[in-house]
Amino acid sequence: MPQDDPLVATFTPPLVAILLRAEQSYGSPLNREQVLAIRDACTCVMLPKSVAAATAQQRGYEDIDPELAWEQWQEARKELNPPKGEG
Q: Sketch the domain layout of the chain as residue ranges.
A: 11-80
pLDDT at 80 over 90: no
* pLDDT 10s digits, 20-75: 999 999 999 999 999 999 999 999 999 999 999 999 999 999 999 999 999 999 99
Angstrom distance (rounded) from CA 40 to CA 34:
10
Question: What does the pLDDT read at residue 17?
Answer: 96
Helices in the chain by DSSP H: which ranges? 15-26, 32-41, 49-59, 69-80
> Quick one: pLDDT band at residue 81, thresholds 50, 70, 90?
confident
pTM for the predicted model, two decimal places: 0.84
